Structure 1
Amino acid sequence: MPETPQEPSAPAPSAHEAPAPAAATAPAATGHAALDALPRTASGAQVWAALGRAGLITRAYRDGDVRAGADPDGLAQLLAAVDSRFSLAATLSVSVQLATALPILATGSSQVARQALASALAGRATIALAATDVTAGTDLTALRTRVRIDDDGLEVTGEKNWIANTTTAAFFLVLARHRPGRHFTHFTWVLVPADAPGVTPCPADSVLFADSGAGHVVLDGVRLDRGHLLGRVGFGLPLFARHIATERLAGAQWGVALCRRVLDDTLRHLSGRPHGEGTLWDLDGVRRTFAACLVRVRELQALVAYHAEQVAVRHDTTAAATLKAAAGATVNHVLTECGQLWGAAGFATGGIQELRAQAALFGIGGGANEVVLGAVADAAEAVLADMARTAHT
């Protein structure tokens, strides 16, 4: 489990003492100096390029090998390093590639897939995970994007909406159906070059997520050779389920880092904001609200520690859904409460209210909270059995 920043070991101030202003949030891990040359306004594509040039992308994987799967410690440290320096949208761009896009791309054995992976790891290429369909949303078995496979090659037709890295992608990983119907074996991954004839990307109408390259892409009769198939035909959904679990782990790890950073900034704001003869930090109600946020983040941190190996190594989808639901609820709670504690100052450009709007993504992207809670409910007996087992160990 990643070494997440801990609270200082110094004694806590009394109820009538404001804490000394905290130092600026330090990077979550060492060895990420290559990122410091970029401005805080860098886009996700710029951050990705810097990570690749510095050889940092492989730190997210066991033994530095994408095919070996995610390394929970390395993944968490890399996400925390990016989150501490850049916008939420830029971090989203990086997170999706690290947790989902590259591992799916790594299943390809053709020359074009190997070259695309090498370019992505070096930061020369940005990869867009194009799963969400224009008509289906998170119900992937209802997607209409289709791939026709014949002896001469492939033809891909459809439209994908709200895809991170759309406007910067060199390649799209497109989930498409090769058979009609909703059976889980009717879907396949295709590696689609962004410059292939028939590929038309456009930016989404979203200022909040412009740094992630969010957008939509139309695939109009895109012809490719069979080397652009990724993995085995018909294994698209099982492959997605395997790696979306890692994305949900990454989201929870990122949620811990984001909340810790927000709480650190908020504590500094409260301890420096005059109120009466003291500061806002002296108010008991403020302190209790802040403490409740600390508890919530500690709970999420503990849950990540408990489930990290289950997800990263065994691809436990119930554990991943649990993390996703917990992260969405925790981030929403912390950003909402801290937004209130910042008062009018939170509405400044780039302030916490803007971040709060972006952070709503944690309850929606990668499976809405209602969907993942349904998945946890489906496994209720197994979850209760695990709770009973761990209570006696």
Structure 2
Amino acid sequence: MWRKLGDEGALRDLYEGPGTDPGLGLDPFALRGLLASLDAGHGLGTTLGVCVQAASALPILLGRRDRDGGTVARVAEQAVAGRAVVAFAATDAGAAGSDLTALTTRVELDGDEVRLDGGKRWIVNATTADHALVLARHRPGDHFTSFTLLLVPAGRDGVGRAAAPTRFFAGSGLGELTFDGVRLDRSHVIGRPGQGLAEFARRMASERLASALWASALCRRVLSDLHERLTARTMRDRPLWEIGSVRQRFARALLEQRRLDALCESACRRGRPTPAQAMLLKAAGGETVRLVLDEAAQLHGADGFAVGGLQELRAEAAMFGIAGGTTETMLEGVADHAPELLERAS
């Protein structure tokens, strides 16, 4: 899929088109259209494989392309052309996913050479990537300057990978990466040592915006399909759509989707969201997917449990409230920034 998008020019339009926002490193409206198109025609896993790479890994590489040059610039260009897949490896095998400062993957910096040891889990594109963008610590402690980003070739000696132990997310390349004495030259370091977490945080806004955009598109598709189903199916010669309780449940779900879509529209027009706005978008996406798919699954009845049915999508879509920061974590951040958000709302 990534190669196809490169061949069609969709990736270059996303990052180098006239609507590209410098703060996001991409065109938010192009991203919105791309995710909606992928969601309409492909499984959740396939869209996930594109979304993480497009909204997380590539903005980091492209943002450093001119400054770092060399290896970074070469891989960035290959990725935009659809000729290289880049996994974003942050979630650590030795720490909770929500606590990046506790990660145990470590890099030793020794002159012109670096050595990487550790592991990453639940990484999208892990089994299919040509390169991995790896967040590792280069010194003890949880200060934000203790972490460095590396661009690691997946075929380098000491790199191992395996599929994740799940039946969900087919097509996403979800898996784990291990690093056992992986040696690289200094050109594989992204930016200066100690800039890794800051660089990651700068690009978090595009990832959280992408999550909300995709969540809105998915909910709209589910509700559109559900509306067709409810108008076509009958009970005692009466369309289900004419039953008041059914209509109200559907309307509540539609209300939530439209609220999220309004947030997304505003965010795309405004440009790069502040950290508070990005957390609000991410939390809204996770909550809306949960509420909409709960209602839709109930209205599908027993058919929802069929192979490929809505209950399977509901289980997979729970990731919107977990991956990239749990809804609870986002809500804590929203509460912390309440004065800012209330002031902006006024």
Q: How does the TM-score come out when normalised to structure 1? A: 0.84
Mapped partners of 2:222, 2:21: distance in 1: 34
1:62 Cα deviation (Å)?
5.1
What amino acid is aligned across from residue 2 of structure 2 in structure 1?
A: W
Mapped partners of 1:378, 1:235: distance in 2: 25
Aligned identity (percent) is: 48
What is residue 97 of structure 1 aligned with on the other side? 53
What is residue 7 of structure 2 aligned with on the other side? 53
What is residue 301 of structure 2 aligned with on the other side? 343
What amino acid is aligned across from residue 150 of structure 2 in structure 1?
A: V
When you count helix as a share of all residues, which structure comes out higher?
Answer: 2
Moved over 3 A (4+): 64-68
What is residue 21 of structure 1 aligned with on the other side? none
Mapped partners of 2:178, 2:19: distance in 1: 32
Mapped partners of 1:378, 1:371: distance in 2: 11
1:85 aligns with 2:45: no
Mapped partners of 1:359, 1:133: distance in 2: 22
Q: Secondary structure at the match of 2:278?
A: helix
Counterpart contact for 1:149–1:178, Cα < 8 Å: yes
User: Which blocks of at least 5 consecutive residues in structure 1 are unaligned?
Assistant: 1-46, 389-393
The 5-angstrom pairing of residues 380-391 of structure 1 reads 380-388=338-346
Q: Output the aligned Cα RMSD.
A: 1.5
The 5-angstrom pairing of residues 25-174 of structure 1 reads 47-61=1-15, 63=17, 68=22, 69-106=25-62, 107-108=64-65, 109-136=68-95, 137-174=97-134
Mapped partners of 1:186, 1:56: distance in 2: 36
Counterpart contact for 2:29–2:268, Cα < 8 Å: no
Q: How does the TM-score come out when normalised to structure 2? A: 0.95
Q: What is the count of residue pairs matched by the alignment?
A: 340
Q: CA deviation digits over 1:70-112, x for unaligned, max 9?
A: 2111110011111110001110110011111001122142322
1:383 Cα deviation (Å)?
1.4
Counterpart contact for 2:150–2:188, Cα < 8 Å: yes
1:67 Cα deviation (Å)?
9.1
Q: CA deviation digits over 1:118-168, x for unaligned, max 9?
A: 211121211100011112212111101111111131101110000000000
Counterpart contact for 2:7–2:82, Cα < 8 Å: yes
1:303 Cα deviation (Å)?
1.2
Counterpart contact for 2:12–2:81, Cα < 8 Å: no
The 5-angstrom pairing of residues 146-295 of structure 1 reads 146-295=106-255
Q: Secondary structure at the match of 2:171?
A: helix
Mapped partners of 1:215, 1:302: distance in 2: 34
Counterpart contact for 2:159–2:178, Cα < 8 Å: yes
Mapped partners of 1:241, 1:228: distance in 2: 20
What amino acid is aligned across from residue 358 of structure 1 in structure 2?
A: E
1:66 Cα deviation (Å)?
7.8
What amino acid is aligned across from residue 191 of structure 2 in structure 1?
A: G
Counterpart contact for 1:201–1:217, Cα < 8 Å: yes
